[in-house]
Chain A
Amino acid sequence: MNIIKCVHKVCTILMETSRPIYIWVLLLGIFIFPINIGAQELVLPKDSIITINLDEVILISARKTLDYHRQPKPLSTLDEYLESSKKVDMVKRGAYAWEPTLNNMFSERLSVTIDGMRIFGACTDKMDPVTSYVDVSNLSQAHIASGQQGTEHGNTIGGTINLELDRGNFKETGLYGGVETGFESNNQMSVVGAELNYSNSNFYVDTDIIYRKAENYFAGGDEEVEFSQFEKYNFSANGGYKIAEDQALTASLIYDEARDVGYPALTMDVSLARAIIASVGFEQDALWGSLSNWKSKLYFNKVTHVMDDTKRPDVPIHMDMPGWSDTYGFYSQAALQAKKHQFLFKVDGYYNKSLAEMTMYPNDPNELPMFMLTWPDVRTANGGVYAEDELDLKGSFLKIATRMTVQNQNVADEFGLNSLKIFYPEMEKSKTRFLKSISGQWHKMWMPWHFNAGLSYGDRAPSVTEGYGFYLFNSFDNHDYIGDPGLVNEKSMEANTKISWEKSKLKLSGEANFFHIADYIIGEIDPSLSVMTIGAEGVKIYKNLEYANLFNTSLDLEYAILPELTWSGLISYHRGTDNNGDNIPFISPFSYRSGLQFDNRSFSAALRITGAGKQVNYNPEFGEDQTQAYTVCSLTFGKTFKFNNDSMYAKFGVENIFDENYSTYTDWKNIPRMGRNFFLTLSYSIN
C-alpha cells in the first residue's frame, strides 16, 4: 500500500508545476533526459582513510562509484548521514538543520568546513549549523577528525567535520547525469534531484540541484509534531580547467535556500535561511622544485537567516530576528616528501562579519518597537599556519602536527559596542588572541594488532555568541545568555588510544579519548540580572570554568559471517564533568547499535538496531532531565536494475518499525523523534 502511495506521490510532484522551485527541477530534468551520453570509465576513489589518524570518513556520494549498496539511505538529509558516524551525534530542534556534535562537543568547539572553507551560521540560536547549507547532492564525503587531529582546517577542541565537495577531478568520465527521487511516508517528504556532469582530462564541470519538501512529522503513536515542516532547495556547480599539464584552475558555487522551516522545540521558526558559497582555486603539481601538490583557494560565503514567529499562536511578543554572516578567506597548501618524512604546510586566513538583530513589537501598538543588536557586527580576522609531518619509523608511524593562529575580533557597530559596555564598561573594541595547537599521533602494527595513541594540546577563542552575544535566549534551559568579551581561551589537553585486531573475517577495536579542558566556557547564572525574554527563568553569563573533563570510549565489532553477510556492533560510553564533579550537559548515555547486512552487489538488505540506556548523568541546571532508554529498529532493501548502459537503483525501507515514541539526550526540549517511517528512493543514472 505504502509503495503505491509513494509512487503516486512522486508522480504528483513531477506534475505539480505551481511552485517555481519545481519548475527549475523539471527544466533541469528535461534537459538531462534526452542527452546521449558516452561511455563512462568507472574510477573508484582510493580509500582515503589515513592510517595514522583515527579519522572517520562517511561516504555521501555513491553516484560516481555506483556504490549505492553501501548507503543505508540515499537521498536522506546530510544530517542523517552524519548521524551514522560513530562519533557524531546530532542535536535536533526539529526535522531540519540538526547541529552536529563530535565527542559530545557542540559547534563552538568544532570546526566545520566545506572543502576546507570556513563558514559560520548566521543564527544566534544555532538554527543554522553550517551543515544545513549544503546537501548530499553537493558532497562526496564527510571527513571526521577527532580532537586536535582536525586542526588542519582551523583551531578546534572537539574535532573537525570537513565536507568534501563532489567533483569530476579531471577523470575521463565524459558526460553523465542522473535523476533521483525519494519519498518518506511519515512526514510526506518528497525529494527530487538531478545532476549533470562532464569530466575529461582537461576540463570538468559538475552541476546538481535538489529539492526537498516535508510536512509535519509524526512521533511514535501517531503524535503530530507541529511546526516540523520544511522546504529547501540547493543548487551547485563546480568546475576545473587545466591551463597547463601541471596547473589547473577550479571554481565552485553552492546556492542553498530553505524556507518555511519549522522548529518545534523552539519558540520561533525560520522564514528564510540562505547561503551562497563560492570559491576559486589554483592547483599546481610542484612548487619550487621540492614541494608538491600545491593547492590554493580564495573563497567567500554569505549567509542570511531570518527567524519568524508569525505562524505561532500565543507568542507573548512578536519579534523579528534576522542575522547575517559573511566570510572571506583563503588557504594555500603544499606537500613535501623527503625520505621518511611526509610534510604538509598550509597557510590560511579568513575574515568574518557576524551581525544579528532583534526587533520586538509591543502588544500596545502605540509603543515604539524595541530594538537590540544580539551580535554587534563582530569582525573576526584570523590567520594561521599549519604544518604536519608523517614519519615512517620502521613498523610504526608518527604524525606530528602544529598550528599557530592569530585572531583579532573587533566590534564594528557603535550601537552594539555601547550595548555591551552596559555589562563591561571597560571593554575594548578590539581584542587579539593567539591560538596554538600541537599534536602527536603514533601508530604501531603487530599484525593483526594495531595500536594507536595520541597526545595533544590545543586551544580555541570564544565564539561570537560566547564573547559578544547580547540577551540570546536558550529555550533548552530557559535562560537568556550574555557573552563576555574578556573570556580567556579554552585549552584542551587530550589523550587518545585505540587498539584493534583485524583479520579478514573479524574486526575488533576498542577506542577511548580523554579531554581535560581548562577554562571550559559555559553559561553561569547571574542572579543579579533581569531576564529580557518574557517567560525566561534567569540570565546566564558565559564564564570560564576552572576545567572540565570529557571521556569517550567505544567498542566496535564487525564479523563477516558469509562474504555477503556482515554483522556489526558498536557500544559506547561517555562521561563529562566539571571541576566540581557536576555533570556537563549534553553528554551521551551508554549507547549501542547493531546491524546485520546482506549485500551481493545487486541486492542488499539490512536490519539495524540502535538504542541507548537510561541517562544517568544529566544536569537539570542546564534544562536537562533524565532521558529514558530506547531501542529502535529499521529494515532496508536495495536493488540495482540495469537498462543497457543505464542503471536504476531502488531502495526501500522502514525506520522505527515498532513506532516507538522516544527522544534522545540530544533532542532539544525532549521533542520526540520520528515514528514509523517508510521510505522509497529511486536513482536513475545515465551513462
Chain B
Amino acid sequence: MKTIKLGLVTIIAAMGMISCSSDGDDSPKNDVNPLAEFNLVANIEANGHSLELYSEGKTGFNTGYNELFVRIKNNADDTYYTNPEITWLPVMHMMSMNHSCPISELSISDDYDTVATGYIVFQMPGNTDEFWDITFTYEVEGQEFSVTETIDVTAPSDGKQTVTSFMGSDDVRYVLAMVEPTDPEVAVNDIKAMLFKMESMMSFPIVENYTIALDPRMPSMGNHSSPNNEDLTYDAVTKAYNGKLSLTMTGYWKLNLKLLNSTGEVLKGEDITDENEASSLYFELEF
C-alpha cells in the first residue's frame, strides 16, 4: 500500500510540475532564438545594425528558389527589432546591363515578430565578371535606412536545374522555378513551382492561371516514365502551381515540362515521343 501511495504522490507532483512549466508560454518571444535551426547565409553590417539572412536548408544563395528569413539586430544592445518594415531588391550586374529577378515581399512571419520571410528566385549564378547584390531598405524606430551588399550566388552543388528563364512563343520572357519537392521520395510527391513574367528588367510579376504539363523521365533507364502524375495548376491562395510527381525509384529524373497559357496554347516545351526524348523546358532532380 505504501508504495502505491508513494507512487501516486510522485505522479501528482510530476503532473503539477508539467503544468507549471507549460505556463512558461507567456514569456517574451525573443527569449528563444527562432532561427537556431537555420543557416546564417549572410550578415550585413550597416548603420549600427546587423541584417541577418537565414536559410532553412541551404548554406548560401543558389540559383532557383531561395526562401529566406531576415531579421535586424540593433548592435548597440544586441536586440532584434520587432515588426521591421523591409523591402529588398536583388540586382544582377551583367557586362552589358543590369536586371533583377522574381522576388516576394518580405513579410513578418506568423510565429515571430522579429523575423521577416520571403523568397528570391535567382535565375542565374554570378561569375568573375558578373555579380549579384541586394539592396535592403528598411524602417526601424521611425527612421529609414538603406544598405547594398554583394552576394555570391552559385549553381546548386549537384548542378541540377531547378529554375529556367525562357522566351515563350508569345514573345514574353518567363522565369519558372521549382519550389518543391526539396526532399523527393520514391512515392507520389507534391510538386510546386512558381511562374513569373519578365515585365521589365526590374519587374517580375507572378503569372496566374496557366498550366504546366509534367512528364518525368529517367534518361538512364531508356526514358522510363512514371504513372499518375498530375499537371501543375495555379492555386490562387499560394500563388503557385501545384501538381503531383510520381517517382518510381531513386536516381536522376528529368521533369519534362510544357507551359500552356490560360487558353491552352503551348508557350514552351514539347511532348516526349520516341523521336523526341526531352523537352526544351524542364527541371532536374537527383536523389
Contact = CB atoms under 8 A, between A and B. Distances in A.
A254 B224 CA distance: 42
A385 to B, nearest CB: 39
Contact of B227 (A360, A368, A423, A535): A423
B224 A531 contact: yes
Contact of A422 (B226, B250, B252): B226
B227 A419 contact: no
A370 B218 CA distance: 10
A373 B185 CA distance: 13
Nearest to A471: B248
Nearest to A362: B220
Nearest to B186: A419
A421 interface: yes
A532 B222 CA distance: 8
A534 B248 contact: no
A528 B246 CA distance: 14
B273 to A, nearest CB: 12
A368 B252 CA distance: 7
Contacts of B45: none
B225 interface: yes
Interface residues of B, number: 23
Contacts of B228: 422-423, 425
Interface residues of A, number: 30
A317 B220 contact: yes
A415 B224 contact: no
Main secondary structure on chain B at its contact with chain A? loop
B161 to A, nearest CB: 15
A529 B227 contact: yes
Interface in A372-408: 372-373
B230 to A, nearest CB: 11
B251 A368 contact: yes
B112 interface: no
Contact of B248 (A367, A372, A425, A528): A372
Contact of A418 (B187, B224, B251): B187
Contacts of B248: 372, 419, 422, 470-471, 532
A535 B222 CA distance: 8
Contacts of A415: 185-186
Nearest to A419: B186
B224 A421 contact: no
Nearest to A482: B227
B249 A370 contact: yes
Contact of B252 (A316, A362, A528): A362
B139 interface: no
Interface in B54-83: none
B250 A371 contact: yes
A535 B223 CA distance: 11
A534 B222 contact: yes
A56 B249 CA distance: 46
A373 B248 CA distance: 10
B249 A371 contact: yes
Interface of B: 185-188, 218, 220-228, 246-252, 286-287
Interface of A: 316-317, 358, 360, 362-364, 367-373, 415, 418-419, 421-423, 425, 470-471, 528-532, 534-535
Q: Give the top 6 A-B pairs by smallest Cβ distance, nearest first.
A: A370-B251, A418-B187, A530-B225, A362-B220, A372-B249, A534-B222
24 contacts: A317-B220, A358-B249, A360-B220, A360-B249, A363-B220, A367-B251, A368-B251, A368-B287, A370-B250, A371-B186, A371-B249, A371-B250, A372-B186, A372-B248, A419-B187, A422-B247, A422-B248, A423-B228, A425-B188, A471-B248, A531-B222, A531-B224, A532-B249, A535-B222
